[in-house]
A and B are shown apart, each in its own frame.
Chain A
Amino acid sequence: MEEKNPLLQVVDLSVDFRLDRKTSLHAVRHVSFDLYKGETLGIVGESGCGKSVTCMSILQLNPARRTRYPSGQILFDGKDLLHMTPKQLRPIRGNEIAMVFQEPMTAMNPLFSIGDQLMEALRVHNPRMEKSEAYERSLEAVRRVKIPNPERILKTYPFALSGGMRQRAMIAMAMITRPKLLICDEPTTALDVTIQAQVLDLMNELKHEIGTSIIFITHDLGVISEMADRVLIMYGGRVCEEADVDELFTKPRHPYTVGLIDSHPNPEYDGDRLKVIPGSVPTLRDMPAGCPFNNRCAYASDTCRDVFPDFEEAESGHTVACHNWRQALQKGGAAR
Chain B
Amino acid sequence: MTEQFQAKTDENYFLKAEGLTMHFPAASDALGRPTSWIHAADDVSFAVPKGKTLGVVGESGCGKSTVGKMLLDIYRPTGGKIFYEGKDITALSPKERRPYVKKMQLVWQDPYSSLDPRLRAGDIIAEPIDNFRLAANRAERAEKVERLMQMCGLYPEMATHYPHQFSGGQRQRICIARALATDPEFVVCDEAVSALDVSIQAQIINLLKDLQDELRLTYLFISHDLNIVHFISDEIIVMYLGQIVERGTMETVYRNRAHPYTKALFSATPAFTAAEKQKKQRILLEGDVPSPVDPPKGCRFRGRCPYADKRCEEEPQWHAVEDNHFVKCRLFD
Interface residues in chain A, defined as those with a beta carbon under 8 Å from any beta carbon in chain B: 46-47, 162, 164-165, 192-198, 200-201, 219-226, 246, 249-250, 259-269, 272-278, 280-281, 283
Is the beta-carbon distance between B224 and A274 smaller than 8 angstroms? Answer: no
Q: Which range contains the number of B residues in contact with the other chain? A: 35 or more
Contacts of A224 in B (CB 8 A): 272
Q: Which residue of B lies closest to A267 (CB)?
A: B230
Contacts of B267 in A (CB 8 A): 197
User: A219-B198, A260-B199 known; 12 other A-B pairs, CB under 8 Å?
Assistant: A193-B268, A194-B264, A194-B265, A196-B270, A201-B282, A221-B272, A224-B272, A225-B270, A226-B270, A262-B202, A265-B227, A275-B202
Is the beta-carbon distance between A221 and B198 smaller than 8 angstroms? Answer: yes
Contacts of B136 in A (CB 8 A): none
Is the beta-carbon distance between B198 and A193 smaller than 8 angstroms? Answer: no
Interface residues in chain B, defined as those with a beta carbon under 8 Å from any beta carbon in chain A: 59-60, 167-170, 197-203, 205-206, 209-210, 224, 226-228, 230-232, 254, 264-265, 267-277, 282, 284-285, 288-289
Q: Given known contacts A267-B276, A280-B167, is B230 in contact with A197 (CB within 8 Å)?
A: no
Is the beta-carbon distance between A265 and B265 smaller than 8 angstroms? Answer: no
What CA separation (Å) do A226 and B264 show in the bound complex?
A: 17
CB < 8 Å neighbour of A47 from B170, B197, B271: B197
Contacts of B271 in A (CB 8 A): 222, 225-226
Is the beta-carbon distance between A265 and B230 smaller than 8 angstroms? Answer: yes
Is the beta-carbon distance between A249 and B269 smaller than 8 angstroms? Answer: no
What CA separation (Å) do A220 and B224 show in the bound complex?
A: 14
What CA separation (Å) do A306 and B197 show in the bound complex?
A: 27
CB < 8 Å neighbour of B273 from A201, A249, A274: A249
Is the beta-carbon distance between B272 and A225 smaller than 8 angstroms? Answer: yes
Contacts of A262 in B (CB 8 A): 202
Is the beta-carbon distance between A276 and B203 smaller than 8 angstroms? Answer: yes
Min distance, Cβ A78 to any Cβ of chain B, angstroms: 35
Q: Which residue of A lies closest to B209 (CB)?
A: A273
Min distance, Cβ A118 to any Cβ of chain B, angstroms: 21
Contacts of B227 in A (CB 8 A): 222, 264-267
Is the beta-carbon distance between A268 and B276 smaller than 8 angstroms? Answer: yes
Interface majority SS (helix, strand, loop, mixed), chain B: helix
Most buried by A among B198, B268, B275: B198
Is the beta-carbon distance between B272 and A193 smaller than 8 angstroms? Answer: no
Min distance, Cβ A282 to any Cβ of chain B, angstroms: 9
Is the beta-carbon distance between A249 and B209 smaller than 8 angstroms? Answer: no
Can you list 14 A-B contacts (CB < 8 A)?
A: A193-B226, A194-B265, A194-B268, A197-B267, A220-B270, A222-B269, A222-B272, A226-B272, A263-B199, A265-B202, A265-B232, A276-B203, A280-B169, A280-B170
What CA separation (Å) do A222 and B228 show in the bound complex?
A: 13
Min distance, Cβ B141 to any Cβ of chain A, angstroms: 28
What CA separation (Å) do A262 and B202 show in the bound complex?
A: 9
CB < 8 Å neighbour of A274 from B169, B202, B274: B202
Q: Which residue of B lies closest to A224 (CB)?
A: B272
Is the beta-carbon distance between B284 and A273 smaller than 8 angstroms? Answer: no
CB < 8 Å neighbour of B59 from A194, A201, A283: A194
CB < 8 Å neighbour of B284 from A197, A220, A268: A197
Is the beta-carbon distance between A264 and B272 smaller than 8 angstroms? Answer: yes
CB < 8 Å neighbour of B202 from A222, A250, A263: A263
Most buried by B among A193, A201, A220: A193
What CA separation (Å) do A201 and B227 show in the bound complex?
A: 21
Contacts of A192 in B (CB 8 A): 59-60, 224, 289
What CA separation (Å) do A268 and B279 show in the bound complex?
A: 13
CB < 8 Å neighbour of B288 from A195, A220, A223, A274: A195
Q: Which residue of B lies closest to A296 (CB)?
A: B199
Is the beta-carbon distance between A268 and B275 smaller than 8 angstroms? Answer: yes
Is the beta-carbon distance between A260 and B198 smaller than 8 angstroms? Answer: yes
Q: Given known contacts A263-B199, A272-B209, is B268 in contact with A197 (CB within 8 Å)?
A: yes
Q: Given known contacts A165-B288, A268-B275, is B205 in contact with A274 (CB within 8 Å)?
A: yes
Contacts of A275 in B (CB 8 A): 202
What CA separation (Å) do A275 and B198 show in the bound complex?
A: 12
Contacts of A47 in B (CB 8 A): 197
CB < 8 Å neighbour of B198 from A46, A198, A278, A283: A46
What CA separation (Å) do A192 and B227 show in the bound complex?
A: 14
Is the beta-carbon distance between B270 and A219 smaller than 8 angstroms? Answer: no
Min distance, Cβ B178 to any Cβ of chain A, angstroms: 19
Contacts of B264 in A (CB 8 A): 194
Contacts of A283 in B (CB 8 A): 167
Is the beta-carbon distance between B197 and A249 smaller than 8 angstroms? Answer: no
Contacts of A220 in B (CB 8 A): 270
What CA separation (Å) do A192 and B265 show in the bound complex?
A: 10
Contacts of A164 in B (CB 8 A): 288
Min distance, Cβ A120 to any Cβ of chain B, angstroms: 26
CB < 8 Å neighbour of A225 from B198, B203, B230, B277: B277
Is the beta-carbon distance between A264 and B198 smaller than 8 angstroms? Answer: yes
Is the beta-carbon distance between A193 and B59 smaller than 8 angstroms? Answer: yes
Is the beta-carbon distance between B231 and A265 smaller than 8 angstroms? Answer: yes
Min distance, Cβ A102 to any Cβ of chain B, angstroms: 14
* Ranked 7 nearest A-B pairs via Cβ: A222-B270, A263-B202, A265-B231, A225-B272, A197-B268, A192-B59, A46-B197
Is the beta-carbon distance between B201 and A249 smaller than 8 angstroms? Answer: no
Contacts of A198 in B (CB 8 A): 284-285
What CA separation (Å) do A191 and B328 show in the bound complex?
A: 26
Q: Given known contacts A267-B227, A276-B206, is B199 in contact with A281 (CB within 8 Å)?
A: yes
Min distance, Cβ A134 to any Cβ of chain B, angstroms: 28
Is the beta-carbon distance between B276 and A193 smaller than 8 angstroms? Answer: no
What CA separation (Å) do A6 and B206 show in the bound complex?
A: 44
Is the beta-carbon distance between B285 and A250 smaller than 8 angstroms? Answer: no
Contacts of B272 in A (CB 8 A): 221-222, 224-226, 249, 261, 264
Contacts of B198 in A (CB 8 A): 46, 219, 221, 260, 263-264
Is the beta-carbon distance between A46 and B199 smaller than 8 angstroms? Answer: yes
Most buried by A among B199, B230, B274, B288: B199
What CA separation (Å) do A246 and B275 show in the bound complex?
A: 11
What CA separation (Å) do A277 and B202 show in the bound complex?
A: 8
Contacts of A277 in B (CB 8 A): 199, 202
